[in-house]
Amino acid sequence: MAPMALIMGIVNVTPDSFSDGGRFLRAEAAIEHGVRMVEEGAAILDIGGESTRPGADAVDASEEIDRVIPVIEGLVNAEVAASISIDTSKAQVAERALAAGATTVNDVTALGDPEMAGVCARAEAQVILMHMKGTPRTMQADPTYDDVVAEVSEFLAERVAVALEAGIAKERILVDPGIGFGKTVDHNLELIERLGELKALDRPIVFGASRKSFIGKIGGGEAADRLGGTVAANVIALERGADVLRVHDVAPAREAMLVAEAIIGGWQWAGYGPRT
């Protein structure tokens, strides 16, 4: 059975990401990690050179470029069987990454850089538009909403319109509700429970809850110990209509996804036909 969703593997080329900061700062280590993720089932590799964890320090474009371009070039040269995404909010970084072989821009500010939309349109890149309340430095300072799902949906609809106006083709636009980006535990849980409402935007939904702090607040454990909670969130999101699952742990995420899809979509295994 062909999978209904894609796995996006996270490759943090940073010293300070919340879950694996520094592990893949060396280009060689990041490239090896990306190759291994593709072998485990990742269809997309998301390369990031600036941490977006709460309170993270900003990184200038030149340093971000120095971190990510060797990794993108190394993965392209390795001919990995996956597309490459650049996780950046800077048009300058996106332009260099797209020239190096990336085909998707994952922008946590949803085209906040006024040059970003033009860069993506000219390159005919895919764009992931994410909701974030504030900035990584301020987003967890008492975020409030009257209706978190309605407000996230309204924001994403407006940013999709901006992308279309800039010349980005509709079929190249994806949306991400921004789990953990300016949301409390309750906000995150409500977004996951009502994720299906975002299907009204008529765009593929990217879902990223991997190792997020709300999982630790519910089940305990540090970032590296949140695999079970991540899998649970991913399975629920898949059932609610997620199209791309952004994860640190590709192999268990893929296994859980395939089993969940078999249950949701009707099983077909060892000669048995689909469920009726």
Measuring CA to CA, which residue among 255, 226, 261 is closest to residue 243? 261
CA separation for the pair 39, 120 (Å, rounded): 28
User: Which token pair is 232?
Assistant: 């649970």
Q: Label residue 220 by pLDDT band (50, 70, 90).
A: confident
Record the tokens describing residue 45, joined without a space. 């590799």
Q: Is 246 a catalytic residue?
A: yes
C-beta of residue 143 within 8 angstroms of C-beta of residue 123: no
Q: How far is CA 40 from CA 44, 57, 207, 231, 253, in A?
A: 12, 32, 19, 16, 10
Name the strands in the sheet holding 244-247, side by side, starting at the edge strand that comes first in the sequence.
Answer: 173-176, 126-130, 104-107, 83-87, 44-48, 6-12, 244-247, 206-207
> Given the structure tokens 């520094």, which residue do they identify?
22
pLDDT at residue 87 tops 60: yes
Residue 112: pLDDT above 80? yes
Residue 138 has pLDDT above 70, yes or no: no
Q: Average pLDDT in the 74-100 region?
A: 98
pLDDT value for 2: 47
Q: Which of 90, 212, 226, 254 is catalytic?
A: 212
**Mean pLDDT in the chain?**
90
Residue-wise pLDDT for 158-196, tens only, equals: 999 999 999 999 999 999 999 999 999 999 999 999 999
pLDDT at 271 over 50: no
pLDDT score recorded for residue 255: 96
| Mean pLDDT, residues 69-83 | 97
**Helix 91-100 / helix 116-123 crossing angle, nearest 10 deg:** 20
Checking if the pLDDT of 276 tops 50, the result is no
Query: In whole angstroms, what is the distance from residue 178 CA to residue 104 CA?
Result: 17
Lowest mean pLDDT among 131-135, 227-231, 243-247, 271-275: 271-275
User: In this predicted structure, what is the pLDDT of residue 274?
Assistant: 47
Q: Is 138 exposed, middle or buried (0-12, 13-18, 19+ CB in 10 A)?
A: middle
Distance in angstroms (rounded) separating the CA atoms of residues 224 and 216: 10
The dihedral formed by the CA atoms of 182, 242, 219 and 22, expressed in degrees to the nearest 10: -70
Q: Is 212 a catalytic residue?
A: yes
CATH, range 6-265 = 3.20.20.20
Q: What is the mean pLDDT of residues 43-56?
A: 86
N residues, the chain: 276
- 3-state DSSP assignment of residue 59: coil
Domain regions of the chain by residue span = 6-265
Structure tokens at 134: 């504030």
pLDDT at residue 264, rounded to an integer: 85
- What pLDDT is stored for residue 145 in this prediction? 94
Per-residue pLDDT, 267? 53
Mean pLDDT, to the nearest integer, of 72-83?
Answer: 97
pLDDT of residue 14: 86
- Can you give the pLDDT at residue 3? 56
Is pLDDT above 50 for 217? yes
Output the six-digit token pair for 80.
């990995």
pLDDT tier at 1, thresholds 50, 70, 90: very low
- Locate all alpha helices (DSSP H) within 143-249, ordered by sequence: 148-165, 185-193, 213-219, 227-240
Inter-axis angle of helices 185-193 and 227-240, to 10 degrees? 40
Catalytic residue among 133, 226, 246, 254: 246
pLDDT at 275 over 80: no
Closest CA to 237 of 195, 199, 266: 195
Q: What is the pLDDT of residues 196-205, one digit of tens each?
A: 999 999 999 9
